[in-house]
Structure 1
């Protein structure tokens, strides 16, 4: 795999996605934060700071998820549906360069979105003079990026072999299951059926454990409630390994498709 060709594909994806009015989401996020500052004190004066903190982090997560799923599922699928993938087949570009380049470029877009929305979030809190733990918010934003990058890999994988609609539905479903996978494991611990328990454990190991990357609740209350540094590193490594595995599967499937 050529790094230079992969970076060229990544740069093209970055420019293409940014041009698709993705950055309007940042303006929409700013509107949400302004609306929260204006409206929340009217309905919950005693807990307004807490609610504004929660709304901001939830909005970053939700908007990031929406753009990741809806754009990510079409990165490869649209190339296949529009037959532009034939152009790639005529060039000396491998399946690995194509898939990895798509993911890197889109991950760069996600990084820009998360960074910009986090800056707006912190700026809004500063104007409102709401105290905020910068260190824990920064870590939460980093792990939010890792989570969305993982979901982008999921979206690309499904987009390789299904339609855009089905890929979107499957990606949303996997996102939800990934956040409830630990609950599934806890349910399996309650059963006395060894076969069922083993099956549930297998499902848990297969699904991404996205709760490892969700630091939103802890972020609001400061660094002292975050996991230990060793656990944070392990969780980040888990996300990177899972992304690599998903992209590898996508590369194998894409390379075996007949165009």
Structure 2
């Protein structure tokens, strides 16, 4: 497995160097969108303004944490998911099924998105800088790190569930971007949304949990119990996505 990962890394790095102008442009656009969200915090809040218990720093940590999670997802998983969607629709999964690796995961080894890695480094540095405005114990630090990791996995699993609808619906490819769009739309404090939106996107499609959990932990609104429930939800979604994958493979038709 380590040799496969090493090969995927080398391939991705070489591709980035070949298409470095495109890669740097992709990184620049991502940073511009993040900067817009960051500046928005200064528009929403003045230095002494608090809205529903949220101040400017809380908001900046929120949007930066989301950028960390999305860039981590894009770096590790986005190329594999784009490839998976095409392989299902085109009937080209055979090459994966013949490999001595679990095809559920092996599709992720097609490569890494290097511009997203650069974005991840930048946004992580900003996130750490913003955390200096809070007094955090070691337990809270570990809780925040775990919430970020679980957030990345939740984005991965929700995307995988959407993509695997391609096994049954030929025109379901567009669903691959739904979770990213929802994450962007819901990149605001949970309390800013109507109650019905909070309920749906916390307990049905837990995108608001992903976006808000790190800041809720920092503010003291997120407990260990809630983080455990979040982790259990990730495990449940994993088994749901595995079940969908297994059923989809029964419905898969090869182009060969």
Is TM more than 0.5 here?
A: yes
Alignment of 1:36-75 (within 5 A): 36=39, 40=42, 44-47=46-49, 50-61=55-66, 64-65=69-70, 68=73, 71=78, 73-75=81-83
Name the CA distance, whole Å, in 2 between partners of 1:84 and 1:146. Answer: 31
Name the CA distance, whole Å, in 1 between partners of 2:103 and 2:69. Answer: 23
CA offset at residue 61 of structure 1? 1.3
Name the CA distance, whole Å, in 1 between partners of 2:100 and 2:5. Answer: 13
1:98 has 2:121 as partner: no
TM-score scaled by structure 2? 0.58
CA offset at residue 243 of structure 1? 1.8
Secondary structure of 2:48's aligned partner: helix
Q: Which has the higher helix share?
A: 1
Name the CA distance, whole Å, in 1 between partners of 2:49 and 2:89. Answer: 50
What do you get for the CA RMSD once the two structures are aligned? Answer: 5.2
> Which residue of the partner structure matches residue 86 of structure 2?
78
Determine if contact 1:76/1:156 at 8 Å carries over to the other structure: no
> Which residue of the partner structure matches residue 24 of structure 1?
27
CA offset at residue 122 of structure 1? 1.5
Residue 156 of structure 1 is aligned with which of 154, 160, 183? 160
Name the CA distance, whole Å, in 2 between partners of 1:134 and 1:104. Answer: 37
Secondary structure of 1:143's aligned partner: helix
Listed as ranges, the gaps of 5+ residues in structure 2 are 17-22, 167-171
Name the CA distance, whole Å, in 2 between partners of 1:36 and 1:176. Answer: 17
Count residues with an aligned counterpart.
225
Post-superposition CA distance 1:28-58 (Å, at most 9, x none): 289739x659x949x8243499313412322
Cα distance change of structure 1 residues 184 and 122 upon mapping to structure 2, 3 Å threshold: closer
Cα distance change of structure 1 residues 93 and 16 upon mapping to structure 2, 3 Å threshold: same
> Which residue of the partner structure matches residue 193 of structure 1?
none
Name the CA distance, whole Å, in 1 between partners of 2:154 and 2:194. Answer: 16
Secondary structure of 2:253's aligned partner: coil
TM-score scaled by structure 1? 0.57
